[in-house]
């Protein structure tokens, strides 16, 4: 069975500093990996995905994520945080076979302080 | 929001009452999903459907029911058997898989027992 761990419930960062939100996964075979962002009382917005190819994936709003197969990690990064990046971030995984549901981590709340 | 409409945005249920949450998509996606979100627990899968007239139980299906009579629609009924229904409910859909494998989410329905 696949699973996702987001080890930090909360990440605080100063505006303008780089940010990292951590994610590790467990899945049989090569995974499909995703990051989503959620603002209060809203649905999830897709940020980026890793399917295959380059380990560094670039997504929306200046976010990127690095796939590391040996460490089974897919950490979300941004070089310079904005106050508007403050939100709840979810990592998700699915196996490559079929159209199976995404399995989500518990989420990490990012707070960017001006 | 990806062309997925959930209604209503807020819903209040009395004890012992069944309520139905609507989810409609115009993305021509084959698969649809219902997730429940509680604080600190991430997203948990209730039911999913990969094709019309077929659906599968997720991790927390007890007390819920679904139907998939049309490709565009996947309503969720919260029955009186669900003892703790107060939560934020999210509907999602995804395409056939492959590179177009991310899920798109609606804006959610917040259900409260009164």
pLDDT tens readout for residues A8-43: 999 999 999 999 999 999 988 888 999 999 998 899
Residue B28, preceding peptide bond in cis (omega within 30° of 0): no
CB B41 within 8 A of CB B49: no
Q: Going residue by residue through chain B (114 aa), what tens digit of pLDDT does each one get?
A: 459 999 999 999 888 899 999 999 999 999 999 999 998 888 999 999 999 999 999 999 999 999 999 999 999 999 998 889 999 999 999 987 666 678 999 999 999 988
Question: What would the pLDDT profile of A45-81 be if each residue is shown by its tens digit?
Answer: 999 999 888 899 999 999 999 999 999 999 999 999 9
Q: Are A27 and A81 in contact (CB under 8 A)?
A: no
Element (H, E) at A84: none
d(CA B102, CA B93): 9
Q: How far is A39 from chain B (nearest CA, A)?
A: 10
Q: Are B96 and B30 in contact (CB under 8 A)?
A: yes
Nearest residue on chain B to A40, judged by CA atoms?
B107
Can you give the residue ranges of every domain in chain A?
A: 3-113
The one-character DSSP state at A31 is P
CA distance A78 to A16: 10
Query: Which residues from B are below 8 Å from A98, CB to CB?
Result: 50, 97
**Residue A88, H or E segment:** strand A87-94
Give the burial string for B80-98 (b: 16+ CB within 10 Å, else e): eebeebebbbbbbbbbebe
Domain A3-113 in CATH 3.30.1330.10? The answer is no
Chain B CB contacts of A45 below 8 Å: 105
Cα(B108)–Cα(B93) distance, rounded to whole angstroms?
13
């Amino acid at each position: 069975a696949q699973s996702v761990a987001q080890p930090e419930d909360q990440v605080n960062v100063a505006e303008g500093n780089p940010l990292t939100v951590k994610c590790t996964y467990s899945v049989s075979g090569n995974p499909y990996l995703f990051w989503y962002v959620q603002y209060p009382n809203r649905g999830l917005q897709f940020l980026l995905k890793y399917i295959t190819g380059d380990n560094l994936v670039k997504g929306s709003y200046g976010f990127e994520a690095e796939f590391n197969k040996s460490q089974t990690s897919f950490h979300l990064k941004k070089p310079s945080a904005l106050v508007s990046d403050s939100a709840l971030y979810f990592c998700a995984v699915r196996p490559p076979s079929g159209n199976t549901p995404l399995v989500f981590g518990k989420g990490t709340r990012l707070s960017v302080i001006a | 929001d990806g062309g997925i409409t959930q209604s209503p945005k807020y819903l209040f249920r009395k004890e012992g009452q069944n309520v139905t949450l609507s989810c409609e998509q115009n993305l021509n996606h084959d698969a649809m999903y219902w997730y429940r979100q509680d604080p600190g627990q991430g997203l948990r899968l209730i039911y999913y459907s990969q094709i019309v007239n077929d659906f599968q139980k997720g991790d927390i299906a007890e007390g819920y029911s679904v139907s998939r009579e049309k490709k565009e629609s996947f309503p969720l009924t919260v029955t009186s058997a669900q003892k703790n229904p107060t939560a934020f409910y999210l509907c999602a859909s995804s395409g056939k898989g492959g590179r177009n494998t991310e899920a798109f989410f609606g804006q959610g329905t917040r259900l409260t027992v009164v």
